[in-house]
Structure 1
């Protein structure tokens, strides 16, 4: 048996030896729209794709570049091929972290973001952490950070949504950002 997964678009994808040509935005959007954020520990179904869309909107609201907005949309794309682990577990599995990092970099290259600067990556990370805080505050009544991070958007949409509409919105956001490049 080979070490591959079969993607939504019927591609045999080898997560330990990923090929750039096998990375498809349709597979990423579909998978992330069906994956729960926070390992499912929230008050209702809330997908990684919804999180990514909120990150993209926050980046746009902050006036960040189209590159950073696209980076925010795609920052968890590796999870569509290797799933995700909670932060405490991930920190203790260096091999998983290497696999995730390699795959995420390849995804960024595939979609024209292989040259993200350290500052751009920091902006993406900051937006991701901001959303993490407000997601837990809204859906679990729990403060991740002692001091709430600054946010630019007045309101976030953490409503439970069907995966099809989220998948379509993710693809539309991706296509819009790619056309602006």
Structure 2
């Protein structure tokens, strides 16, 4: 292996370009995403990727989607915990980054039993993600992403600024509930 690794929160030498399933730790994902801001920090207050992922998971549950889709929603941005994120306009113009992100996300899904998500399940996850994007921007930036607001199942989502440690713990708790694991 090359020297192109990052040192994770749990002290794993993680190689983002050569990801190994056994090196992926839910504790690293929850910790990193709870400290990482959505919208590249351009919102009215700190709102983390972990909070977004939790809200996506709750929206999926409210829609009565399967626990697999709920877990997929919780983990849909997990690759960002290892390679950070780029804004959509930049990402669209960097095909190599997108390939790295897709490969890493696939390995993460495989690690947590979601390597066989169907096309319909993936579409459900993407739809929930876009729905939350719209309502996050509306709530925190007074800006509408879509001219016609997408349908949401939950009446109210929590877009409040929260302490990162409580978000991290909630992320881990929801993960354990969905997987029946104890980390």
TM range (shorter): over 0.9
Q: Tell me by how many angstroms 1:167 deviates.
A: 0.1
Q: In 2, distance between residues paired with 1:145 and 1:125?
A: 15
Q: Does 1:38 align with 2:65?
A: no
Q: In 1, distance between residues paired with 2:31 and 2:128?
A: 23
- 2:98 is matched with 97
- Using the size of structure 2 for normalisation, the TM-score is 0.97
Alignment of 1:150-165 (within 5 A): 150-165=151-166
Unaligned ranges ≥5, structure 2: none
- 2:127 is matched with 126
Residues paired across the two proteins, number: 180
Q: Tell me by how many angstroms 1:179 deviates.
A: 1.4
Alignment of 1:1-181 (within 5 A): 2-179=3-180
- Using the size of structure 1 for normalisation, the TM-score is 0.98
Mean CA deviation greater in 171-180 or 5-14 = 171-180
Unaligned ranges ≥5, structure 1: none
Q: In 2, distance between residues paired with 1:77 and 1:103?
A: 9
Q: Tell me by how many angstroms 1:97 deviates.
A: 0.2
* RMSD of aligned Cα (Å): 0.9
Q: In 1, distance between residues paired with 2:24 and 2:168?
A: 16
Q: In 1, distance between residues paired with 2:40 and 2:23?
A: 26
